[in-house]
Amino acid sequence: MIYKTFQDLELSALGMGCMRLPVIDGDDAKVDEAAAFQMVDEAMAGGVNYYDTAWGYHSGNSELALGKALARYPREKFYIADKFPGYDLANMPKVKEIFEEQLKKCQVDHFDFYLFHNVCEMNIDAYLDPKYGIYDYLMEQKKNGRIRHLGFSCHGAMPVLKRFLEAYGKDMEFCQLQLNYIDWTFQNGKEKVDLLNEYHIPVWVMEPLRGGRLARLSDQEAAPLKAMRPDETIPAWAFRFLQSIPSVTMVLSGMSDLEQMKANIATFQTEAPLNEKEMAGLMEVAGGMVSQTALPCTACHYCVSHCPKGLNIPELLALYNEHSFTGGGFLAPMALSAIPQDKWPSACIGCRSCEKVCPQQLKISEAMADFTAKLNG
């Protein structure tokens, strides 16, 4: 196992994400604890010492299962990370209550790592609102040793990341981002990493395989990668990409069975970053994958002034592209929840005024209708 130095700690470069533990009868709320124990045992045997859970994973049962699994090991053998669930605004006044409950569920007296969970458009105002006392409470717990390292995860766009860093960046020790070779450009991953570098904040990675999509390339997509590294597995390319980014310290993978666990541990026995030619080839593959579903909007904004409903069309198209490529997911609906409903894609009246001035000749009205149908489907 490769280890990365973080302050005075040596962290396994691969961490076990506990959002996709084995479940019983396909019920996400019913964690198969026996299978989860096996996975933790396999991770421990393979040198993994970082375990990431959250309040909402498996309807609250991820923390319980992980707590039971890790309780069988000496406390000094692992680092555990948990998060304050600000993705639900109803939780904002409950930081103390939730934190205390999380410690009990995980069977620990402190968290090695703790995060503001899912900083995004929908909750940034609440996270920054002093009336909830979230920042003050978490800083107090850090002072008291009940949080050893404080950070945040972010699914928001660049403006949200900038606001959070401007407010709390001086006290953040790490940032967890959705980062992979698709989102390096598709979700402005490179710009986010560059901004974090300005604050000297190391990167923790979530969704390295983008929900498994990057483990399942078509033969056509995989061919150029196989030509460059015949012995490298397709999932390993996602990890080799991340090994090529100097500020990446931790890569979390939400492994759901032993075979995935064994394969990922095998990959992380070696560090094999991409060379310039391999990186260019991988980016070409990524671009081809995105272009199959994404509309090539350049965000010139010519369309905006011609929309009688005042829609932010480039923003909506970016969310449409995300939703279409992912085949659904929570990111687009989450971002839309921060926008007034009269500015949603469903507000498009199909007048096509925007299309008359679009340099890319995009069929915007059709995209808005399709986006609405997908959201309602």
| Residues 253 and 327 placed together within one structural domain of the fold | no
pLDDT for 368? 97
**pTM for this predicted structure:** 0.87
Tell me, what CATH number does 88's domain have? 3.20.20.100
| Residues 139 and 206 placed together within one structural domain of the fold | yes
| Residues 252 and 339 placed together within one structural domain of the fold | no
| Residues 248 and 328 placed together within one structural domain of the fold | no
| Residues 143 and 187 placed together within one structural domain of the fold | yes
Confidence of residue 294 (pLDDT cuts 50, 70, 90): confident
Residue 178 domain flag: yes
Per-residue H/E/C for the chain: CCEEEECCEEEECEEEECCCCCEECCEEEEECHHHHHHHHHHHHHCCCCEEECCCCHHHHHHHHHHHHHHCCCCHHHCEEEEEECCCCHHHHHHHHHHHHHHHHHHCCCCEEEEEEEEECCCCHHHHHCHHHCHHHHHHHHHHCCCEEEEEEEECCCHHHHHHHHHHHHHHCCCEEEECCCCHHHHCCHHHHHHHHHHCCCCEEEECCCCCCHHHCCCHHHHHHHHHHCCCCCHHHHHHHHHHCCCCEEEEEECCCCHHHHHHHHHHCCCCCCCCHHHHHHHHHHHHHHHHCCCCCCCCCCCCHHHCCCCCCHHHHHHHHHHHHHHCCCCHHHHHHCCCCHHHCHHHCCCCCCCHHHCCCCCCHHHHHHHHHHHHHC
pLDDT for 329? 85
| Residues 121 and 239 placed together within one structural domain of the fold | yes
Count of the separate structural domains present in the chain: 2
| Residues 231 and 348 placed together within one structural domain of the fold | no
Residue 292 domain flag: no
Of 283, 316, 349, which closes a domain?
A: 283
| Residues 143 and 274 placed together within one structural domain of the fold | yes
pLDDT for 50? 98
Residue 335 domain flag: yes
Domain that holds residue 254: 3-283
| Residues 101 and 214 placed together within one structural domain of the fold | yes
| Residues 272 and 309 placed together within one structural domain of the fold | no
Confidence of residue 224 (pLDDT cuts 50, 70, 90): very high
